[in-house]
Amino acid sequence: MRIQTNITAKLSPALIIAFFLIALPIWADPSPPSTPELISDSPTATAGFYHLNWQGSDLSMLTYELQEANDMEFTQPTILYRGPDQGTLISGQNNGHYFYRVRALKQGQTASSWSSPRAVTVQHHSLTRAFAFFGAGATVLLATLALIIFGAWQSQKEDSSKYE
């Protein structure tokens, strides 16, 4: 048993030194992460949702902060997301113009500059257009049902005439 204690005592300083050699560059690097690039899948959203993605060049453990505002100056920004993901889906917005920016946070200590703002205009389809799509769909449905019923009736009529 005493041999194990001596081995453990000899390995402990080596493990501690190895831990600090690995962790020191992470703790000692106060430089901010690079500014992420914010990408929107569409400048105008008519489908009721849109995607925002961002990319940074740093591969270290980063947290991203996404802000939304109603103006390009971000006078009253709202934090929409804070976490490690590099994208989000936005839905449920009213018609209007929305502005977004993102920055990277390195272990809660330093932050990158804000990305260039991205503007997204939400413009839902009009009610007239929605009812037109509904009407076209209803017409196709009724025409399909009519063809099925007519075909079944014709088939039954032909079958009954064969047996007379």
Q: Which residues pair with 67 in a beta bridge?
A: 79, 101
Question: pLDDT at position 15, please?
Answer: 66
| 118 plus 157 within the same structural domain | no
Question: pLDDT at position 27, please?
Answer: 56
Instruction: Name the residue range of residue 157's domain.
Output: 126-164
Taking the CA atoms of residue 71, residue 74, residue 75 and residue 79 in that order, the dihedral angle to the nearest 10 degrees is 120
Reported as a pLDDT band with limits 50, 70 and 90, residue 144 is very high
pTM of the model: 0.64
| 130 plus 106 within the same structural domain | no
Rounded Cα–Cα distance for residues 44 and 47 (Å): 9
| 18 plus 46 within the same structural domain | no
β-strands 44-45, 118-122: how paired? parallel
Enumerate the H helices of 29-78 as residue ranges: none
Rounded Cα–Cα distance for residues 57 and 106 (Å): 13
Strands (E), 60-112: 62-69, 78-83, 87-91, 96-106, 110-111
Total structural domains within the chain: 3
| 118 plus 67 within the same structural domain | yes
Reported as a pLDDT band with limits 50, 70 and 90, residue 139 is very high
Q: What CATH number has the domain bearing residue 49?
A: 2.60.40.10
Over residues 19-40, the pLDDT tens digits come to 666 655 555 556 778 889 999 9
Over residues 79-133, the pLDDT tens digits come to 999 998 999 999 999 999 999 999 998 876 788 999 999 999 999 888 898 899 9
